[in-house]
Amino acid sequence: MDISKEKIRYILQFFFDKSENASQSAENVNSVYGPNTVTANHAQFWFRRFRSGNFDVKDAPRSGRPIVENVDKIMEIVESDRHVSTVSIAQELNIAQETVWNHLNKAEYKKKFDVWVPHELTQKNLMDRISICESLLNRNKIDPFLKRMVTGDEKWITYDNVKRK
Closest to 9 (Cα-Cα) out of 31, 26, 23: 26
Decide if 5-51 and 67-118 have a common fold. Answer: yes
Q: What pLDDT does residue 43 have?
A: 92
Q: What pLDDT does residue 1 have?
A: 47
Q: How many CB atoms lie within 10 A of CB 99?
A: 18
- Is residue 146 within 8 A of residue 138, CB to CB? The reply is no
Mark the ranges of the chain whose per-residue pLDDT is less than 50. Answer: 1
Integer Cα distance of 109 and 78 in angstroms: 10
Element (H, E) at 73: helix 67-80
Domain boundaries, the chain: 5-51, 67-118, 123-158
Quick: pLDDT tens for 61-100. Answer: 777 655 566 788 898 999 899 899 999 999 998 888 888 9
What pTM value is reported for the model? 0.41
Q: Which amino acid is at 153?
A: D
- Is residue 42 within 8 A of residue 5, CB to CB? The reply is no
CATH architecture for residues 5-51? Orthogonal Bundle (1.10)
CATH topology of domain 67-118: Arc Repressor Mutant, subunit A (1.10.10)
